[in-house]
Amino acid sequence: MQSLPIYLYSNTLDVILDLDITTRGVNQVMYQRDLKIQKGIKNNVRVQFKNSDQKRINISNTTTFVFSMFDAINQRLILQKDLTVIDDGTTLNLRGVAELTFNESDTIDLEKSSYQYSITYKDPTDGTSLPAYVNTYYGMAGTLLLDDDVYPVLQPSQEVVSFLNAFNAFTNRYEHTSGNIYAYPEYNGNTALHTVAMYMTNFRGTVNIEATLNNSPSSFGRYVTVVSKGYNGFSGIDYVNFNGIFSYIRIMYIPATAPGEIQNNNPSFFGSFDKVLYRS
């Protein structure tokens, strides 16, 4: 049996804040690790404030800490959030601790990239902003790496905008058929859900969604109908869901015949079947 270790621990960021008078150079740190967060989910970051001697300092009386995240190239402000001070002034393991929370909405629209960040606090005497430092060499800006490793990347839907118009001598009707649309059977699980969005304008007729298990389907005789729907002057988007592990699907629409006409080839009567978006 395989054993998979999973680790749950706080994402801790050390910040240098000289609120007390100390002698520099006692315990200097050469490098500060990059802050790494995940896109599109909630990230809690524990910020540990220290002095230049790497000793935790009391920040319970400090009013406001502000985290700023900005574009490393254009210096454009991306996000600004207040830190929540956890230090209560008495609990030793909470000394110098504040918490920074990234909500899902804070990062969902951002590109996976490298950003810069800074942390400032307000001077209690006049309310002006003072800097905190990411290392003991007075480095003001740290590096934030925004990753997108938690969820799979959403793939775009397959779009069908053209259909082959052919006359079926057996039914005496014109049929408009899409090409073979790959259904990605290797990615489908037990539910194998398929979604088809059909865009129509005043459409009259029947739409058949057909599927096949054949790996190289031809134009005739290899498909079966899995969904069939009729429309009478429908305009808008209609969604259809169906289940099954298939190699390919295709869309066929059969226009309705206008009163008094023999063939179903009058677009002014049956409207238009504009396009299809398909996702499996």
CATH number of the domain encompassing residue 132:
2.60.40.3350
**Span 35-48, mean pLDDT?**
89
- Is position 1 within any domain? no
Q: Note whether 120 and 192 are same-domain residues.
A: no
Q: Is the pLDDT of residue 201 over 90?
A: yes
Which amino acid is present at 54? Q
Q: Note whether 140 and 181 are same-domain residues.
A: no
- Is position 6 within any domain? no
Q: Is the pLDDT of residue 154 over 90?
A: no
Q: What is the pTM of this model?
A: 0.62
Q: Is the pLDDT of residue 239 over 80?
A: yes
Name the residue range of residue 50's domain: 11-147
Q: Note whether 227 and 270 are same-domain residues.
A: yes
Q: What pLDDT sits at residue 32?
A: 67
- Is position 235 within any domain? yes
Q: What pLDDT sits at residue 30?
A: 55
Q: Is the pLDDT of residue 105 over 70?
A: yes
Q: What pLDDT sits at residue 148?
A: 87
- Structural domain ending residue among the three candidates 103, 125, 147: 147
- Which tens digit of pLDDT belongs to each residue from 63-86? 688 899 998 788 899 999 998 888
* Among 162-171, 190-199, 216-225, 264-273, the least confident range: 216-225
What CATH number does residue 165 fall under? 2.60.120
Q: Note whether 133 and 23 are same-domain residues.
A: yes
**Span 145-159, mean pLDDT?**
84
* 203 or 280, higher pLDDT: 203
- Is position 251 within any domain? yes
CA distance 69 to 241: 42
**Span 186-206, mean pLDDT?**
87
Burial of 119 (0-12, 13-18, 19+ CB in 10 A): buried
* Among 42-51, 139-148, 212-221, 266-275, the least confident range: 212-221
Residue 13's DSSP bridge partners are 47
Q: Note whether 164 and 133 are same-domain residues.
A: no
Q: Note whether 139 and 239 are same-domain residues.
A: no
Percent with pLDDT over 70 in the chain: 88
Q: Note whether 38 and 140 are same-domain residues.
A: yes
Q: Note whether 212 and 251 are same-domain residues.
A: yes
Q: What pLDDT sits at residue 29?
A: 57
C-alpha distance from residue 105 to each of 99, 168, 267 (Å) = 18, 52, 46
Is 86:95 a contact under the CB 8 Å cutoff? no
- Structural domain ending residue among the three candidates 147, 182, 216: 147
* Among 11-15, 35-39, 159-163, the least confident range: 11-15
Domain total in the chain: 2
C-alpha distance from residue 249 to each of 77, 165, 192, 264 (Å) = 47, 17, 13, 24
Q: Note whether 177 and 55 are same-domain residues.
A: no
Q: Is the pLDDT of residue 50 over 60?
A: yes
Q: Note whether 140 and 189 are same-domain residues.
A: no
Q: What pLDDT sits at residue 55?
A: 83
**Span 259-274, mean pLDDT?**
91
- Structural domain ending residue among the three candidates 115, 147, 179: 147
C-alpha distance from residue 17 to each of 52, 70, 199 (Å) = 7, 21, 59
